[in-house]
């Protein structure tokens, strides 16, 4: 059986990355692509890299839904809810790459995104699609809130330590750095080449919308309320996120113990590579792949009485941080091999 996939928002960066991956997925036919801005245009007219590789024309939302067994929505927040409802009514699986179905708490959603949860029952039904943490729930739903890019790197980077209770849940600091594709396809001053190249800055310091999503996941994993200071920075590269995470170790825990926890947690996870001592993670090494590479350090010195755990985690923000993870979720929803279509080898350069 071949799964028919449709993509809404296919001309955005996450959307076109989905196209690229789904076009080579062994169990999927890319059946339809949607775009409000480019309806009626061939996708390759917007993305000439796809010339002769995808003849699809951008269609409207209804046409995409009609053609698909599973609908991926890579839309600005607030626009997925109605589509989700339509898909639910039609019995089609729905994977939202936006933020509409990530937060459990409607008030938080309202506060950070300024949108109302118009179909509360759908929010109930939607599962947060981070397979390494919530695989079983994912397998048993048909509606996914695909995690944000930053939150993916942070959750994978901290989960084993928080789950085992070896670090404090308060005072967590995430200093994250993202490539420019995270800002989307639309030209803006801060991503204008001469302004962005040879530049580096922090933005939305301690006020980024991914903060509640990060805290929600970490709290779930820890079993108690976690609080995070989240400071993102804009890196002058195309792809990649590196999150440097600082967490206070509880007394009695050292690097060996922590490393053991991570090894155990990820030993069967294809997409998480815990690097051996001495090998730093680099966004370069996960480019165009669905991997999350993790390295651990403990600073005995700087962390007060006890040590400070330092986790560095890298992902490709457009793959494990968006399109790749969405496909991983799709594979779970349909009972396919979880790595199907996702066995890309990151290029060395």
For a second copy, the closer CB: 90 or 199 = 199
Report the C-alpha gap between 4 and 15 in whole angstroms: 16
Tell me the backbone φ, ψ of residue 261, rounded to 5 degrees.
-60, -45
Binders of a second copy in range 63-92 (CB under 8 A): none
Binders of a second copy in range 267-286 (CB under 8 A): 273, 275, 279-286
| Candidates 57-65, 86-94, 100-108, 178-186; binding stretch for a second copy (CB under 8 A) | 178-186
Among 27, 106, 254, 303, binds a second copy (CB under 8 A): 303
Among 193, 260, 263, 277, binds a second copy (CB under 8 A): 193
Minimum gap (Å) between residue 166 Cβ and a second copy: 17
Q: Which residues contact 234 (CB under 8 A, 6 or more apart)?
A: 177, 178, 180, 183, 190, 191, 196, 199, 200, 201, 203
Minimum gap (Å) between residue 195 Cβ and a second copy: 7
CB 127 within 8 A of CB 146: no
Minimum gap (Å) between residue 36 Cβ and a second copy: 17
Report the C-alpha gap between 227 and 102 in whole angstroms: 18
Q: Considering just the CA atoms, what is the radius of gyration of the chain in Å?
A: 20
| Candidates 20-28, 56-64, 124-132, 326-334; binding stretch for a second copy (CB under 8 A) | 20-28
The Cβ of residue 167 has, within 10 Å, a number of other Cβ atoms equal to: 27
Sheet holding 28-34, edge to edge: 58-59, 28-34, 3-8, 70-73, 93-96, 143-145, 127-128
DSSP state of 204: S
Among 136, 189, 252, 268, binds a second copy (CB under 8 A): 189
Report the C-alpha gap between 196 and 205 in whole angstroms: 18
Pairing of strands 292-299, 272-274: parallel
Longest dimension (CA), the chain: 63
Minimum gap (Å) between residue 348 Cβ and a second copy: 5
Report the C-alpha gap between 195 and 14 in whole angstroms: 23
| Candidates 84-92, 114-122, 147-155, 303-311; binding stretch for a second copy (CB under 8 A) | 303-311
- Which of 19, 54, 87, 149 is flagged as catalytic? 149
Among 91, 114, 187, 335, binds a second copy (CB under 8 A): 187
For a second copy, the closer CB: 16 or 143 = 16
| Candidates 86-94, 111-119, 137-145, 195-203; binding stretch for a second copy (CB under 8 A) | 195-203
| Candidates 12-20, 124-132, 134-142, 155-163; binding stretch for a second copy (CB under 8 A) | 12-20
Among 41, 53, 82, 120, binds a second copy (CB under 8 A): 53
Among 40, 55, 120, 347, binds a second copy (CB under 8 A): 347
Tell me how long the chain is: 349
Q: Is 30 a residue that touches a second copy (CB under 8 A)?
A: no
Q: Is 320 a residue that touches a second copy (CB under 8 A)?
A: no
Binders of a second copy in range 206-265 (CB under 8 A): 206, 211, 227-231, 233, 235-240, 242, 244, 246, 248
Q: Is 188 a residue that touches a second copy (CB under 8 A)?
A: yes
Q: Is 175 a residue that touches a second copy (CB under 8 A)?
A: yes
DSSP state of 321: I
Residue where the block lists tokens 């000439």: 48
Q: Is 349 a residue that touches a second copy (CB under 8 A)?
A: yes
Among 107, 116, 224, 299, binds a second copy (CB under 8 A): 299
Residue 58 is a catalytic residue: no
Phi-psi domain of 52 (left: phi exceeds 0; alpha: psi -120 through 50; beta: other):
left
Pair of tokens at residue 255: 């690097």
Tell me the backbone φ, ψ of residue 325, rounded to 5 degrees.
-65, -35
State the catalytic residues: 149
């Amino acid at each position: 059986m071949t799964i028919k996939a449709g993509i809404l928002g296919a001309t955005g960066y996450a959307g076109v990355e989905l196209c690229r991956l789904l076009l080579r997925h062994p169990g999927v036919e890319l059946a339809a692509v949607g775009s409000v801005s480019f309806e009626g245009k061939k996708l390759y007219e917007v993305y000439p890299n796809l010339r002769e590789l995808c003849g699809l024309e951008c269609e409207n939302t209804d046409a995409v839904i009609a053609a698909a067994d599973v609908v991926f929505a890579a839309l600005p927040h607030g626009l997925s809810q109605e589509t989700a409802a339509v898909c639910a009514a039609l019995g089609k699986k729905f994977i939202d790459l936006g933020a509409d179905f990530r937060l459990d708490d409607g008030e938080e959603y309202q506060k950070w995104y300024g949108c109302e949860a118009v179909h509360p029952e759908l929010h109930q039904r939607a599962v947060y699609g981070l397979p390494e943490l919530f695989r079983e729930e994912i397998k048993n739903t048909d509606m996914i809130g695909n995690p944000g890019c930053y939150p993916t790197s942070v959750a994978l980077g901290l989960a084993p330590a928080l789950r085992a209770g070896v670090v404090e849940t308060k005072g967590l600091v995430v200093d994250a750095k993202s490539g420019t594709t995270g800002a989307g396809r639309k030209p803006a001053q801060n991503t204008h080449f001469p302004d962005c190249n040879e530049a580096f800055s922090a933005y939305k310091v301690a006020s980024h919308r991914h903060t509640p999503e990060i805290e929600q996941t970490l709290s779930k994993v820890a079993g108690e309320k976690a609080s995070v200071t989240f400071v993102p920075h804009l890196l002058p590269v195309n792809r990649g996120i590196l999150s440097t995470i600082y967490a206070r170790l509880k007394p009695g825990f050292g690097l060996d113990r922590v490393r053991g926890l991570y090894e155990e947690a990820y030993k069967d996870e294809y997409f998480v590579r815990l690097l051996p001592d001495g090998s730093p993670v680099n966004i370069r090494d996960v480019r165009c792949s669905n991997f999350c590479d993790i390295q651990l350090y403990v600073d005995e010195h700087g962390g007060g009485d006890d040590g400070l755990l330092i986790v560095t985690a890298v992902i490709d923000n457009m793959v494990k941080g968006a399109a790749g993870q969405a496909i991983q979720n799709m594979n779970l929803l349909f009972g396919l091999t979880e790595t199907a279509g996702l066995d890309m080898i990151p290029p060395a350069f």
